[in-house]
A and B are shown apart, each in its own frame.
Chain A
C-alpha cells in the first residue's frame, strides 16, 4: 500500500489563541481528555456517596430516617448506572482513550478534533440531564440500573414519571456523545498511525481501547433502540415492552408487549459493556506491568488476539443474565457454553500477566502496586463468573449478594484498580509533576485491603440467600443474626475505603503545584507518549516532525543495550544488532 493520501503537512491544526479556545472550547485531544476525566471523576464521587448511603442503611438499619425504601432504590439505581456508564466508560474511553491514542500511535491529534470536542460537550449535557433527575418531582428512577420494564415505568417504582424519562434521555445523549468520540478513536487508530507504527507494534493499551470502542459502537445501538422504545411506551402509550396489566386494581391501556424483549436488548448491550470497561483496563494494565517489571509483555501476539477474541465472543453470551427469566434449555446450554469459552482467552491473559512478572525486575512503585492488585481482584471476580455462567448454579445465586460481589470484583474494583494504576503512571506526563509516593502507597493498601473487606463477606451473604436490591432484610428465617454483624462490618470497611479516596484526591490536587517536577520519562517507558519533545506534550504533540517507529513497545532489559529500555522511536543501532532483532520478535 502506498501512503500518499494524508501526509503530515496536510493536517490542519487549529492553534488556540485565547484562554477560552485553549481550555474550554478546546479541540486538543489532551484538553478534551482532561475535561472528560474531571467530569467523570466528579459524577463518580456522587456515585461513591450514594454507595456510602446505601451501606449505612444496610449496616445500621432503622438508624437513618431520611433513607426510605424508595430512596434506597433510587440510590442503587443511580449508583450502578453512574459507575458503569458515566464514570468507567467515560473515563476509560473519553479520558484515557482521548489522551493516549494520538500520543501512543504518533498522531498530532484525533482525526476530527472538532467532532471530538462536541463529543465532550454532549457527554457533559448527558451528565447534567442525569443529575437533574435528582431535582425533579418524584426524584430519580429507582428501577435498578437494568431499568427493566414493566416496573420501570409503572406507579410504585420511585421516579416512574420524570426520573425514568430523564434517565432514558440522558442515556440517548450519552450514546450520541460516545459515537462522536468513538468514531474518532477507531479512525485515528486505523488511519493516523505514524511511520513504522504497524498494528502489531501498537502498545496493548491501544489494542484494548480500540477493541472496546468497536464494541461500544456496535453495542450501544441496542441500548439506544430500547431507550427509544421505552420512552414511547412511557410517554405516548405504545406497548413494545408492556403486556396487559392490572395495576392498583385498574386495567391499564397496555396490551401485548414483550418485557423479555427489553431484557434481550438490554443485555445485548449490557454484556459487551462489561468488556467496554474491561478491555481498556486489560490493555493499560499490560503496559504498566511490563514497564514496571522491566520485561517485555509475555506473548504479545496472543494478548492481541485474546483481546479481539474476547471482544467478538462478548456479543454471543448476553442471555447468561437471563437464566431466571426462563428460556429453552437448548439456549441455556448455548449461552452457558459460550460464556465458559470466553474464559479461555481471558485466562490466557491472566497467565500472560503473571508470566510477565515472572523473573522480572519488579519495581514496586505505586502504579505497579495497583496493577498487581488488579490481577488479584480480577482473578477473584473471574472465578465467581465461572460459577454464575452455569445455569444450574446461577439459578439459586441470581439476584443475591453473590452476584453483587461477583460483578463488583470483576467490573467494579478491577477496572478501578487499573484506573488508579494508570493515573499514577501517566500523571507525570499529563501534569509534569510526580504524585507523592507515601500517600500513594497508603491509598493503595487502604483501597486494596478495604475492597476485600467489603466484597469477600458478600459472597457468604449471597450463599445465605440475602437478596440484592433490598432495603432491609426484615426477619427472615433463613438469614441468621450474624448476617447483620457482617453487614455492619462491610459498611465500616466501605466507609473507610470511601474516605481513603480523599487521600488520592488530595494527592492529585496537592501534587499539581507541590509535587516533585517530573523528569523526562520517569519510569523508563518505551512507548511513544513518553518520547514527546515537551512534557507535558504541547499542542500538536511532536514539534516539527512526527516520530518514526522502529520496534514494538516492549524492548525492556534488552541484552547488550546501554539502557534497560529502548524507546519505540530509537533507530536500530548498528553496534547492537541484537536489539533490533528482539524488537521484532513479538
Chain B
C-alpha cells in the first residue's frame, strides 16, 4: 500500500487494480449516497422476502393436510369461460408494464425533461395502484369463497395464512412505492431537483423494479407451484 494520499495503484491492471480501486479513499462505489443506501436496503429486503418464501415452502411441505390446487383456486369465470390464473396474469402484466414506464421516467429525468418524467412517473404510480386494486379484488373473491388465514374449504390452513401474509406484505410494498413515486413526482414537477440532480428518480426506480422482481418470485412459487 502506498503511503501518500495520492494512491495511484488503482490504475494497476487485473485483480490488484480492482481491489485497490474498490478500497480507494472516499468512495467504494461510484454513485450517490442515496443510491447506495437504497441498494443496501434492497439487499436487506431481499432477505426478508426470501425468508418469507422459504417459510412458505417449509410450512407447505410440513403441512398435514393436502395443499389446495392453486390454478383452480385462482380461476375466474368470465363470460362463461373458465380461465385459470387469468387475474394473476393480468396483474403480473400490469406490474411489469409499470417497470417499463418507470425505466423511461428515469431516462427522461436524466435528460432533464421534467414534463415527460412526471407523466411517466404518474403512469407508473397509476399502474401500481391498479395492481393493488386488483389484489384487493382477488382477496375479496377468495374471502367470499371461504378462504381465511386460519383455514379454507379445500385443505391445509397454511394455504390461506401464507397467501394473505406474503401477498399482503408485497402489497404494502407496492402501496408504499405508489406513495413514494407520487411524492417524488410532485417534487420533480415543482423543480425541486434542478440543483441536486435527478438521481432520486433512479433511486425510486430501483425500489420499484425490486418490488416487481419480488412479485415474479411470489407469482412463480405461489401460483405456478
Contacts and interface: CB of A to CB of B under 8 A. Distances in A.
Interface of A: 1-3, 5-6, 111-112, 179, 183-184, 186-187, 190-201, 217-218, 220-222, 224-225, 228-229, 232, 236-240, 244, 253, 255-258, 261, 265, 268, 548-551, 572, 580-581, 583-584, 586
A534 B12 CA distance: 40
B140 interface: no
B55 A225 contact: yes
Interface string B168-207: 0100000000000000000000000000000000000000
Contacts of A237: 149-150
Contacts, number: 159
> Among the interface residues A192, A237, A238, A551, which one has the most CB atoms of the partner chain B within 10 A?
A238
Contact of A112 (B33, B52, B156): B33
Given A229-B55, A256-B157, A187 B37 contact: yes
B161 interface: yes
A584 B3 CA distance: 5
B31 interface: yes
A232 B164 CA distance: 11
Given A186-B40, A198-B23, A265-B51, A191 B28 contact: yes
Nearest to A228: B165
A549 B65 contact: no
A289 B9 CA distance: 31
Contacts of B1: 198, 200-201, 584, 586
B44 A265 contact: no
B5 A217 contact: no
Interface in B23-39: 23-34, 36-37
A6 B196 CA distance: 11
Contact of B47 (A222, A232, A253): A222
Contacts of B43: 217-218
Nearest to B165: A232
Given A199-B28, A256-B158, 8 more contacts: A112-B37, A187-B33, A196-B25, A225-B55, A237-B149, A239-B157, A256-B65, A581-B3
Given A225-B51, A244-B64, A256-B62, A190 B4 contact: no
Contacts of B160: 238
A228 B51 CA distance: 12
B138 interface: no
Interface string B48-68: 100110010011001111000
Contacts of A1: 10, 21, 24, 27, 30
B41 interface: yes
Given A239-B150, A256-B64, A584-B2, A218 B158 contact: no
B44 A191 contact: no
> Among the interface residues B24, B32, B44, B47, which one has the most CB atoms of the partner chain A within 10 A?
B44
Contacts of A584: 1-3
Given A187-B36, A256-B156, A583-B3, A229 B25 contact: no
A548 B5 contact: yes
Given A5-B31, A191-B36, A200 B23 contact: yes
> Among the interface residues B1, B36, B158, B162, which one has the most CB atoms of the partner chain A within 10 A?
B1
Nearest to A244: B64
A202 to B, nearest CB: 9
A221 B158 contact: no
18 contacts: A1-B24, A3-B26, A190-B29, A195-B5, A199-B22, A199-B28, A200-B23, A218-B43, A221-B45, A229-B165, A236-B149, A238-B158, A240-B158, A256-B62, A256-B63, A256-B157, A258-B58, A550-B4
A89 B186 CA distance: 39
Contacts of A112: 33-34, 37
Nearest to A237: B150
Chain B contact-residue range equals: 35 or more
B23 A199 contact: yes
Give the 4 A-B residue pairs with the shortest CB-CB distance, closest first.
A196-B5, A238-B161, A199-B23, A221-B47
Nearest to A4: B30
B113 interface: no
A243 to B, nearest CB: 8
A191 B27 contact: yes
> Among the interface residues A3, A184, A240, which one has the most CB atoms of the partner chain B within 10 A?
A240
Contacts of B156: 256
Contact of A257 (B25, B59, B165): B59
A218 B47 contact: yes
A573 to B, nearest CB: 11
A198 B7 CA distance: 9
A261 B59 contact: yes
B5 A232 contact: no
A195 B4 CA distance: 11
A191 B26 contact: yes
A5 B32 contact: yes
A581 B30 CA distance: 29
B33 A191 contact: yes
Contacts of A580: 3
A442 to B, nearest CB: 43
A221 B51 contact: yes
A232 B149 contact: yes
B4 A217 contact: no
B35 to A, nearest CB: 10
Nearest to A223: B51
A304 to B, nearest CB: 10
A445 B96 CA distance: 64
B26 A194 contact: yes
A199 B5 CA distance: 13
A224 B27 contact: no
B150 A236 contact: yes
Contacts of A239: 150, 157-158, 161
Contacts of B4: 550, 572
A217 B44 contact: yes
> Among the interface residues A191, A268, A551, which one has the most CB atoms of the partner chain B within 10 A?
A191
A64 B154 CA distance: 55
> Among the interface residues A3, A187, A201, A218, which one has the most CB atoms of the partner chain B within 10 A?
A187
A189 B63 CA distance: 45
A549 B59 CA distance: 54
Contacts of A229: 55, 165
B210 to A, nearest CB: 14
B47 A6 contact: no
A5 B27 contact: yes
Nearest to B51: A225
